Amino acid sequence: MTQVAIVGAHGQIGKLIIKHLRAQGLEAIGIVRKTEQLAQMDALGAKGVLLDIENTTAQALATVLKGADAVVFAAGAGGGSTAERKRTVDYAGSVLLAQAAQLAGIRRYVQISAVDVDKPLKPDTDPVWKAYVEAKRDADIELRKSGLDWTILRPGPLTDDPATGLVTLNEHAGRGDVSREDVALVVVAVLNAPSSVGKQWELRGGDTPVRDAVTQ
């Protein structure tokens, strides 16, 4: 593994993934949607690529993935966005990246999802939250069916606390806070762990070192 492409590289977790990839001597391609975000990629030591995943094709995305050994989907429509954008970013963006990876001959795909998205929603659930949960759930379903070498991470509520390097990571870790930087550390660790292929893990803060949590 020498180069990783990240969709959603301008987000907090995306930047932290790049930071820790570069710390290990790995190259990063940061795919961003605004011109001003290219300078951020440059400052982090990543190759910045301007591409809006809501307004592109799988073929165009495959072209910018050229040279990558793996892809990471760290994108999300974010707080304050509409139900429609949850669908076009959190779901459709993930599916588009899988299609592009296949066209580019890239097999390894790591997706950041969210905890509890398989649980039934109450009838009075806020429509935007409902759209978010359904988008994450459906993106995970599609990735599992893709035939790629996937890993799905489902973190609990995210914090901006410093990384502890200690997590709980398994199929049924349950809901619990986890720092964005610890999520990034887990992403980088699973990229280097062939045993994580085909695994869908819940992730929260804990007491197991990241490397051990990924390889156990």
Catalytic residues: 132
Supply 111's token pair: 């997706």
- Write the DSSP string, 126-154: -HHHHHHHHHHHHHHHHHHTS-SEEEEEE
Radius of gyration of the chain (CA): 16
Q: Round to whole Å and give the CA distance between 58 and 37.
A: 22
From the number of C-beta atoms within 10 Å of its C-beta (0-12, 13-18, 19+), residue 143 rates as buried
Nearest residue to 187 (alpha-carbon basis) of 163, 153, 161, 164: 153
Core vs surface per residue 16-47: b (16+ CB within 10 A) or e: bbbbbbeeeebbbbbbbbeeebbebbeebebb
